[in-house]
Amino acid sequence: MRADLGLEVGLVSNDIEGQTRFYSETLGLPVEGNVEIPQVGRITRFRAGGSVLRVLVPLTPAAGASREGGFAGTEGIRYIALKVSNLAELVQRVTDAGFNVVIPIRTLRPGVDVALVEDSDGNTIELMEEHAS
């Protein structure tokens, strides 16, 4: 039996303004709303196609994450991949907004180009564009 599934990914941040500037203003993900979680914090939801990116700002500021070894240097969720249709434009917008482009646009395999960028907290975001072959 197959259930209808949806993916919602959560990040923890102490800086919702920076995250909103990156995800909504720069990448164009619409803010879907906010949810207050009593005694925990506030979640801001960003719509990414059929998925949602949640950014939780806890009531008690979170400790900074270790970035040692880069996005592939430790186990666990280390990056988020977003399929886009305007890779060059988005990478330029990321650059213009002052965010870090870790790996500029390159061909991953025939018909697929990628770039790695960082959000305001230094989380790695892979932007991937597929081309018709």
Domains and CATH numbers, the chain: 8-60+76-130 (3.10.180.10)
Looking at residues 1-25, what average pLDDT do you find?
91
Q: Is the pLDDT of residue 119 over 70?
A: yes
pLDDT for 1 equals 65
Q: Is the pLDDT of residue 2 over 90?
A: no
Q: Give tens-digit pLDDT for 50-90.
A: 999 999 999 999 987 777 777 777 777 789 999 999 999 99
From first CA to last CA, the distance across the chain in angstroms is 34
Residue 100 confidence class, pLDDT cut points 50, 70, 90 = very high
Give the lowest-confidence range in 2-6, 38-42, 50-54: 2-6
Beta bridge partners of 79: 124
CA atoms lying within 13 Å on the CB side of residue 62: 17
Mean pLDDT of the chain, nearest integer: 93
